[in-house]
Amino acid sequence: MKKTIISLMACLLFVSFSNAADPSSDRSKVEFFEKLYKTKIVGVKLLEEYPDPDQFYSAIAKQVGIPKIALDAVDNQFGWKQDDENFLVVIVKGGGNSDDWGVMVTKFPTGLKTAKSKEEKMKLLKKMEMKMVVIGYDRKISFPEKKKRKTAPNQD
């Protein structure tokens, strides 16, 4: 009976160490995303080599098409396009223990690139809009709503 228990504990210990060593189960490794998206990811350094973890996850997101998915989503949902009137900027957040990518898409008026005065730039910046797109690792898309603040009671 003791031999069986010791054997069983040794097997469990071996299995736990062998799973921990599997890079495809570690979200801080490129291999996790290669397995998840069934694609080869090239040119991405180890997480520890980036000054900010977001740079690591952003580099991966670009290679698996997350910015394109977000741009298509805001086009379908809100009619946002890169065109003569507007340009779109995409910022990807994600990684760690999260099961999704957070993508902020910002729409700017194209005139902002050529505005000469501060007043003209400020006027154009008032037309800027932002949308948050959440893209699950399963590529399911959602648009989180802003929570509406309750107004403070009158302070008479």
Residue range 32-59, pLDDT digits in tens:
999 999 999 999 999 999 999 999 999 9
**Can you give the pLDDT at residue 108?**
96
**Can you give the pLDDT at residue 96?**
73
Residue 12 resides in a domain? no
Dist. CA 4–CA 12, nearest whole Å: 12
**Can you give the pLDDT at residue 75?**
97
Please state the pTM of the whole predicted model: 0.76
Q: How far is CA 58 from CA 9, 24, 61, in A?
A: 41, 18, 5
Dist. CA 44–CA 56, nearest whole Å: 7
Range of the domain at 86: 24-142
CA 18 to the chain's CA centroid: 29
Residue 128 resides in a domain? yes
* Higher-scoring residue by pLDDT: 146, 116: 116
**pLDDT of 18 over the 50 cut:** no
**Can you give the pLDDT at residue 148?**
60
**Can you give the pLDDT at residue 10?**
47
Average pLDDT for 69-92: 96
Residue 60 resides in a domain? yes
147: burial class by Cβ within 10 Å (0-12, 13-18, 19+)? exposed
Residue 19 resides in a domain? no
**Can you give the pLDDT at residue 149?**
59
Domain count, the chain: 1
Average pLDDT for 59-72: 96
**Can you give the pLDDT at residue 145?**
79
H or E segment at 133? strand 129-136
* Higher-scoring residue by pLDDT: 53, 149: 53
Residue 63 resides in a domain? yes
H or E segment at 107? strand 100-109
Residue 11 resides in a domain? no
- Judge whether 33 and 60 are in contact, CB under 8 Å: yes
Dist. CA 156–CA 149, nearest whole Å: 20
What does the pLDDT look like over 93-129, one tens digit per residue?
877 778 899 999 999 999 999 999 999 999 999 999 9
